[in-house]
Amino acid sequence: MRAIAWLLRVFCYLFHTVFCLALIALGAVAMLSNVDDMKLETVPWQGTQLNHLLIITGVIGLISVVLAVTGKLRFLLPLWSIYVLVMLVRGVFFSSNVTFSGREDFHNWLWLIGAAALAAIGSLTLLGKRRAY
């Protein structure tokens, strides 16, 4: 059972690291390109505010991963993981703005939501007692 919890935790670390780096990269490219009308259908923000929030949320997520890996403020990563999962589910299933370009696009979103759910489950393993190895 410890091995499964360890694998889920490592997956959580990797998923959120890549996810946060993607958020930062997307926001940085938009800001450096002077894009002020960017819109992502899955989030409620748009324009310059979206550019800034992508970078800010990416940095917050990376900080939560680093703090969890180092054993400090471990509760932040489960909060971040749940936030990411809720925003993805809300954006894909409860937003009237989201359209899919086909079956494959919808399946890609389902894969991303599934990975975020698995990462959220993995992050919950951080809430247990710390064992000395």
pLDDT digits (tens, 9 = 90+) for 50-72: 999 999 999 999 999 999 999 88
- 3-class DSSP state for residue 44? coil
Question: Of 115, 84, 109, 112, whose CA–CA distance to 8 is shortest?
Answer: 115
Residue 132 lies in a domain: no
User: Quick one: how many helices (H) and strands (E) in the chain?
Assistant: 4, 0
User: What domain range is 34 assigned to?
Assistant: 2-127
pLDDT band for position 91 (cuts 50, 70, 90) = confident
Residue 123 lies in a domain: yes
Q: What percent of the chain has pLDDT over 70?
A: 96
Overall number of domains in the chain: 1
* Under 8 Å between Cβ of 109 and 100: yes
Residue 20 lies in a domain: yes
Question: Of 119, 33, 53, 107, whose CA–CA distance to 80 is shortest?
Answer: 119
Q: What percent of the chain has pLDDT over 90?
A: 62
Residue 121 lies in a domain: yes
Residue 133 lies in a domain: no
Distance CA 112, CA 98 (A): 15
Residue 78 lies in a domain: yes
* Under 8 Å between Cβ of 20 and 59: yes
pLDDT band for position 131 (cuts 50, 70, 90) = low
